């Protein structure tokens, strides 16, 4: 295989990986959306300033940060994205 053919094949593999990670990130966000909605409802039901509300609020903030990760965040910068959680 010539060098240019190898380069094209490599670029195609990278493009496929990008498409796959984009799909995975989209599905991940689809799971997070209802969970975040229920967490928000739960925070509204719990007494203001209670230990339970603080616990749910912390988890909600982690979910919000993880939802902010994009597909490229999960692949080349996965450690950086994990550090944000």
Read off the pLDDT of each residue in 37-54 and give the average, rounded to a whole number.
91
Q: How far apart are CA 68 and CA 74, in angstroms?
A: 11
What's the pLDDT at 47? Answer: 93
Going by C-alpha positions, the residue among 54, 52, 53, 78 that lies closest to residue 66 is: 78
Residue 81 reports pLDDT greater than 80: no
Predicted confidence at residue 50, as pLDDT, reads: 93
């Amino acid at each position: 295989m010539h060098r240019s053919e190898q380069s094209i094949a490599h670029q195609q593999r990278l493009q496929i990986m990008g498409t796959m990670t984009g799909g995975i990130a989209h599905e991940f966000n689809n799971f997070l959306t209802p969970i975040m909605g229920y967490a928000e409802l739960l925070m509204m039901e719990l007494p203001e300033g209670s230990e339970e509300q603080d616990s749910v609020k912390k988890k909600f903030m982690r979910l919000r940060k993880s939802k902010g990760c994009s597909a490229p965040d999960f692949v080349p910068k996965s450690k950086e994205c994990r550090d944000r959680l």
